Structure 1
């Protein structure tokens, strides 16, 4: 095996760096089932039944936690996530409304913590 000289990388080091970069990018993919399950486990994504008498069936609760390839502050991203979360419960889910709750601020106080409540009808 070739040794690295100061300031030079061996092909093995370049391969290892590329492999680490690819695996870290794939690990954060917001469209993977593993990512969604992790976000649900930490409480950043949640589905609740609608309150009795509501004109919708479910509420997808989505916190504004930004991740690689995922920006919940974009309404299209939130709507898509809500529909994906409810694809097993609803045959034909449709977003019919949204509200939001500000729960505080992130470290430094420069960005509000927001929980989006996406209302979905089956």
Structure 2
């Protein structure tokens, strides 16, 4: 039984950060990419702080790396120019619910 659980965990963690996983996040509204209306910003990526293997939007480094990877097809040399977070209450577990808005400029 332990071997089966370990196999599933390792298998799922192998998908962490993959293009397929990122498309699932987009389809599930965990992340959303939109053209920006703000001068000096080309795209805004909205990211919920949901929990998933290899994804932790509350970690700045992880959030920025994920945002740049999400936008890499449209903006291969993108740079993060600013970000904002909005508290949305709490999940049933008591963990704070947040949304991050990462603003990206294509160089």
- The count of aligned residue pairs is 105
* Alignment TM-score, normalising by the size of structure 1: 0.76
Hey, what does 1:117 align to over in structure 2? 101
Instruction: Establish whether residue 46 from structure 1 lines up as the match of residue 35 from structure 2.
Output: no
Hey, what does 1:72 align to over in structure 2? 57
In the alignment, the residues of structure 1 paired with residue 76 and residue 18 of structure 2 have an alpha-carbon distance, to the nearest angstrom, of 20
CA deviation string 1:7-43 (max 9, x = no partner): xxxxxxx7xx535532443224321112111111110
Point out the structure with the larger strand share: 2
Q: Which runs of 4+ in 1 moved over 4 A?
A: none
- 1:91 alignment partner, one of 76, 87, 97: 76
Change in CA separation of 1:112 and 1:20 when aligned onto 2, cut-off 3 Å: closer
* Alignment TM-score, normalising by the size of structure 2: 0.85
The alignment yields a C-alpha RMSD, in angstroms, of: 1.8
Larger radius of gyration, structure 1 or 2?
Answer: 1
In the alignment, the residues of structure 2 paired with residue 69 and residue 86 of structure 1 have an alpha-carbon distance, to the nearest angstrom, of 18
- Secondary structure of 1:101's match? strand
In the alignment, the residues of structure 1 paired with residue 31 and residue 65 of structure 2 have an alpha-carbon distance, to the nearest angstrom, of 13
Q: Unpaired segments of 5 or more residues in structure 2? A: none
In the alignment, the residues of structure 1 paired with residue 52 and residue 76 of structure 2 have an alpha-carbon distance, to the nearest angstrom, of 28
CA deviation string 1:39-65 (max 9, x = no partner): 1111001101111x4221001111101
